[in-house]
Amino acid sequence: MKELLRKTLCVLAGAMLLLGSVSVQASETPEKVTVIYGGSSWLGHYPAWVGIEKGLFQKHGLGVLFQNFYASSGRMGSLVAGDLDVAATGSISAIALMAAGSKGFMAFATPDSYATVEGIIANDNIKTIADLKGKRIAAPFASSAHVLVLDILEQHGLDPEKDLTLLNLKVNEMPAAMGSGEIDACAAWTPHFNKLLDMPGNHLLVDDTEFSLYKKYKLGPGPDLLVVRKEFAQKFPNTCKAFVKGYFEAVDMLINDPEESAKVLVKLTNLSMEDQMTVLQDISWIPGQEQRALMVDPGDFVTGMQQLAEFLVKHKQIDNAPAVQEWIVESMVP
């Protein structure tokens, strides 16, 4: 009788362990298996693209749909409107929405650091910043490139409203405008940055290393930021965790195997394999294990974002500096 009881208890204990295991697995199962991601050919979206192409999200039970946008402002508008779930964005667009009081999104990581794949490109007649006086220079307004232009002009005592003509132009329209002579210089980011530099007669005037906050804090004019729609994060926490795992496995792949990553990235950027490898060499990827120090404790990146917000107020790009810390969702930080 005792032996029968012992066997019964063993069977029950085994069943309980099995149920516990199933329960844990079930608790980690993504509530929603499809994530809509807002991207572009900009380097800040490389991890999402690599994750999709190499099946890294799929490992965690997710299908990720990559939707292209020309500018961060349009991408952020779609995110807040509920058409996207997760996105990477230039932080200026995010700060502008924060300043406007939008609470429809949260931020949880920064994927990269770059400084030499964005800058001002000029034709042969412009040798120095002072030579921009009286010329036509283009930048996508309300972007990191626009902020770079305003900062560089201020550093050199030029007034963008009096000393030159500053035009609002999309980066993909700049090669044609430079080629036709419609503009004399432009501020752009990769991959169009590389294409503009490859055009005869063009040369690099300055890059992000000349940005005033970069000189002081190593902070570019528009560092990349990963954001999530707030309602999505609240309703689907397991889906968000699975996305973060797949995303930062892709970051690890970009760090450890750039050549394999480049093979799939050329489909996104249309760069040659050689140019793609060159761009990858100019990027410092930030792995998942470093994110908590940047975003939460001590949160140096968030502190830098706050300084950038105050810089934007000074240059009349936004009316007030939001408290950036209020938009950080710590539960999603790796």
pLDDT: which is higher, 16 or 263: 263
pLDDT score for 17: 40
Structure tokens at 147: 């902020």
Mean pLDDT over all residues of the chain? 90
pLDDT of 18 > 80? The answer is: no
pLDDT digit string, tens, across residues 89-122: 988 889 999 999 999 999 999 999 888 889 999 9
**What's phi and psi for 108, nearest 5 deg?**
-140, -5
Least confident of 48-57, 111-120, 208-217, 276-285: 208-217
Least confident of 163-172, 235-244, 245-254, 273-282: 273-282
pLDDT of 53 > 90? The answer is: yes
Please state, in angstroms and rounded to a whole number, the distance separating the CA atoms of residues 276 and 264. Answer: 10
pLDDT of 60 > 50? The answer is: yes
Specify the domain boundaries for CATH 3.40.190.10 within the chain: 34-113+222-327, 118-217
pLDDT of 78 > 50? The answer is: yes
pLDDT of 143 > 90? The answer is: no
Widest pairwise Cα distance in the chain: 101
For residue 10, name the pLDDT band (cuts at 50, 70, 90): very low
Average pLDDT over residues 240-264: 98
pLDDT score for 25: 54
In the chain, the percentage of residues whose pLDDT exceeds 70 is 92
CATH fold group of domain 34-113+222-327 = D-Maltodextrin-Binding Protein; domain 2 (3.40.190)
Burial grade of 24 (CB within 10 A; 0-12, 13-18, 19 or more): exposed
Render the burial of 102-126: b for 16+ CB within 10 Å, e for the rest. beebbbbbbbbebbebbbbbbbeeb
220 DSSP 8-state letter: -
For residue 23, name the pLDDT band (cuts at 50, 70, 90): very low
Angle at 133 between CA 130 and CA 138, to 5 degrees: 105
From the list 313, 326, 324, the residue with the least C-alpha distance to 95 is: 324
pLDDT score for 26: 57
Superfamily of domain 118-217: Periplasmic binding protein-like II (3.40.190.10)
Please state, in angstroms and rounded to a whole number, the distance separating the CA atoms of residues 118 and 214. Answer: 13
First to last CA, the chain: 53
